[in-house]
Amino acid sequence: MRRRLIVGNWKMHKTASEAAAFVHRLAELAPAVGATGSTERVEVVLAPPFTALHAAAQAAAPSFPFTLAAQNLFWEEHGAFTGEVSAPMLKDLGCQAVILGHSERRQLFGDRDEGINKKIRAALRHGLRPILCVGESLADREAGLTESVVTGQLAKCLDSLSADDLLKLTIAYEPVWAIGTGRAATVAQAAAVHETLRTVLATGWKREAGQQVRILYGGSVTPENAGAFLASPQIDGALIGGACLDPHSFATILALAQALPA
Ligand code: PGA
**DSSP per-residue letters across 36-81:** TTHHHHEEEEEE--GGGHHHHHHT-BTTB--EEEES--BSSSSSS-
Q: Hey, whose CA ends up nearest to atom 9 of ligand 1? A: 241
Query: In whole angstroms, how far apart are CA 14 and each of 47, 59, 117, 166, 246?
Result: 11, 14, 29, 32, 11
| Mean model confidence pLDDT for the chain | 94
In short, whether 43's Cβ falls inside 6 Å of ligand 1 is no
Question: What would the mean pLDDT of 235-242 be, rounded to a whole number?
Answer: 98
Q: Specify whether 54 is catalytic.
A: no
Q: Hey, whose CA ends up nearest to atom 6 of ligand 1? A: 241
CA gap 214, 200 in Å, rounded: 13
Residue 231 has pLDDT above 90, yes or no: yes
Residue 103 has pLDDT above 70, yes or no: yes
Q: Please state the pTM of the whole predicted model.
A: 0.96
Residue 36's pLDDT band, with cuts at 50, 70 and 90, is: very low
Instruction: Summarize pLDDT for 170-223 with one digit per residue, the tens.
Output: 999 999 999 999 999 999 999 999 999 999 999 888 788 788 999 999 999 999
In short, whether 223's Cβ falls inside 6 Å of ligand 1 is no
Instruction: Give percent above pLDDT 70 in the chain.
Output: 96
In short, whether 190's Cβ falls inside 6 Å of ligand 1 is no
The three-state secondary structure class of 170 is: strand
CA gap 131, 239 in Å, rounded: 10
In short, whether 225's Cβ falls inside 6 Å of ligand 1 is no
Question: What pLDDT score does 39 carry?
Answer: 54
Question: What pLDDT score does 69 carry?
Answer: 98
In short, whether 241's Cβ falls inside 6 Å of ligand 1 is yes
Please state the domain count of the chain.
1
Residue 86 has pLDDT above 50, yes or no: yes
Q: Which of 104, 136, 174, 194 is catalytic?
A: 174
Residue 32 has pLDDT above 90, yes or no: no
How many of the other CB atoms lie within 10 Å of CB of 109? Answer: 9
Question: What would the mean pLDDT of 67-73 be, rounded to a whole number?
Answer: 98
Question: What pLDDT score does 35 carry?
Answer: 46
Among 262, 254, 257, 260, residue whose Cα is nearest residue 27: 254
Question: What would the mean pLDDT of 6-27 be, rounded to a whole number?
Answer: 97
Give the domain extent around 175: 4-259
CA gap 48, 69 in Å, rounded: 7
Residue 254 has pLDDT above 60, yes or no: yes
Residue 80 has pLDDT above 50, yes or no: yes
Question: What pLDDT score does 63 carry?
Answer: 83
Q: What distance lies between CA 19 and its chain's CA centroid? A: 18
CA gap 83, 110 in Å, rounded: 15
Residue 128 has pLDDT above 60, yes or no: yes
CB 207 within 8 A of CB 216: no
CA of 216 relative to ligand 1 center, distance in Å: 12
Phi, psi angles (nearest 5°) of residue 215? -120, 120
Q: Specify whether 174 is catalytic.
A: yes
DSSP bridge pairs for 214: 170
CA of 45 relative to ligand 1 center, distance in Å: 14
The three-state secondary structure class of 29 is: helix
In short, whether 209's Cβ falls inside 6 Å of ligand 1 is no
Instruction: Summarize pLDDT for 54-66 with one digit per residue, the tens.
Output: 999 999 988 889 9
Query: What's the CATH number where 42 sits?
Result: 3.20.20.70
Q: Who wins on pLDDT, 62 or 53?
A: 53
